[in-house]
Structures are given as C-alpha cells and as structure tokens.
C-alpha cells in the first residue's frame, strides 16, 4: 500500500512527515497516526489491554485466596 507523504502535527506541537501509517514522536514519545481512525483503534486497543491485565490479576488473586489462604486458615 503506497501512502503519499503527509505532514502531521503531534499533540505536543512538533510536525512529522509520515510515509507510513504511524510513527513515534521524537519530542514527547507519543504515537502519531496518518489516519484518524487508526488513532481511535489504538485507543480502544489500549483500553482492552488494561482490562485484560486487570482481569488476569484479579483471577490470579482469587485463585491464590481460594487455593492457598482458605485451606491454611482451616488448619
């Protein structure tokens, strides 16, 4: 897929010349996207990852409590 070079302004104010779908800003370290819909997709993807990590930590805590702490409290 050929993308024509486009100048995009980052949230920090730096202008970047994009020749692909995304690039990291050198000044602030955020990701800058060629298309606006890709920016929304990345935001949804990061929320999904936060929810999954929180779910895994919650599940592991539950397993620890049920399999280790509860049997030890009976003794």
Dump pLDDT digits (tens) for 22-46. Answer: 999 999 999 999 998 999 999 999 9
Q: What are the φ and ψ backbone dihedral angles of 2, each rounded to 5 degrees?
A: -90, 125
Residue found by looking up tokens 């070079």 in the block: 5
pLDDT score at 1: 59
**How far is the C-alpha of 74 from the C-alpha of 45, rounded, in Å?**
43
Contact 8, 18 (CB under 8 A): yes
CA 51 to mean position of chain CA atoms: 11
* Mean pLDDT, residues 10-15: 92
Query: Do the Cβ atoms of 58 and 66 come closer than 8 Å?
Result: no
């Amino acid at each position: 897929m050929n993308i024509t070079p486009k100048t995009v302004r980052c949230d920090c104010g730096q202008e970047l010349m994009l020749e692909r779908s995304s690039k990291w800003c050198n000044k602030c370290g955020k990701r800058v996207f060629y298309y606006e819909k890709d920016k929304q997709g990345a935001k949804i993807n990061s929320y999904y990852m936060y929810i999954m990590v929180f779910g895994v930590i919650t599940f592991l805590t539950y397993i620890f409590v049920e399999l280790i702490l509860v049997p030890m409290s009976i003794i």
